[in-house]
Amino acid sequence: MAEVDIRLTLNGEERSASVEPRLLLSDFIRHHMRLTGTHVGCEHGVCGACTVIVDGEPQRSCLMFAVQADGASVETIEGVAPNGELGPVQQAFHEAHGMQCGFCTPGFVMSLTALLRNSPDADDDELLDSLSGNLCRCTGYVNIIEAARLARERMNGAA
């Protein structure tokens, strides 16, 4: 199939590329842009490992074609730690031990980053609603919830 030209903002930088329409945004990010922090677990929208922020909203990059990101602003886990310094949600996961193997972590961080930027005073119900969209096979979630609350406390203070 004919390739399509796209232009998007990826972690604040203008990027352009020529892609096949069937290329998933997740594969574009990982294989074409070489940003492998976005993980792919299920490719059908269930696990949340591939979550990125598109135009300010958390979305599944495995359920979007790269062509649909034409004109959009996409932020990946690499974008929340631009100078190698952990972002507030990452720092909270580190301190609260919100991870074990780490496979699910980028997805959780992107979901929570989007939530807390849009609503810094999100209540526990909103936190859990957001966390419900990401699966973790290791931790049992207790420390992830802990990390989410810690991140809220800090980001709320900053706002």
Partner 1 sequence: MKPAPFAYHAPDQLDEVLALLGDQDHEVRLLAGGQSLVPMMNFRLAAPEVLVDLRRVESLRQLRHSGDGTLAIGAGVRQSALLREPVVTDGWPLLSEGARHIGHPQVRSRGTVCGSLAHHDPTAELPALAVALDARMVLASASGTRERSADEFFVSYYTVALEPGEMLLEVRFPRCPAAAGWSFKEVARRRGDFALVGVAALVEAGDDGTVSRARLVFCGVAERPFRALDAEQAVVSGASFEEAGRLVSEAVRPMGSIHASAEYRRECAGELAARALSEAWERATGG
Ligand X SMILES: Cc1cc2nc3c(=O)[nH]c(=O)nc-3n(C[C@H](O)[C@H](O)[C@H](O)COP(=O)(O)OP(=O)(O)OC[C@H]3O[C@@H](n4cnc5c(N)ncnc54)[C@H](O)[C@@H]3O)c2cc1C
Which residues form the interface with ligand X (CB under 6 A)? 45-46
Query: Given phi > 0 = left and psi -120 to 50 = alpha, else beta, which region is 45?
Result: left
Q: What distance in Å separates the CA atoms of residue 67 and residue 18, rounded to the nearest whole number?
A: 9
Which of 34, 44 has the CB closer to partner 1? 44
Beta strands in the chain (DSSP E): 4-10, 13-19, 51-54, 57-60, 73-75
Chain mean position to CA 50: 7
* Interaction of residue 23 with ligand FES, rule CB under 6 A: no
- 31 contacts ligand FES (rule: CB under 6 A): no
Q: Using CB under 8 A, which of 132, 140, 153, 159 touches partner 1?
A: 132
- Which of ligand FES, partner 1, ligand X, none sits in contact with 148, Cβ below 5 to 8 A by type? none
Collapse the DSSP code of 58 into the 3-class scheme (helix H, G, I; strand E, B; otherwise coil) and give the result.
strand
- Cα 95 to its chain centre, rounded Å, is 19
Size of the site for partner 1 (CB under 8 A): 32
What type of residue sits at position 76?
T
> Contact positions toward partner 1, by CB under 8 A?
1-2, 4, 20-22, 24, 27, 43-45, 48, 51, 57-60, 62-65, 67-68, 70, 111, 115, 128-130, 132-134
> Contact positions toward ligand FES, by CB under 6 A?
40-43, 45-50, 60, 62, 99-104, 136-139
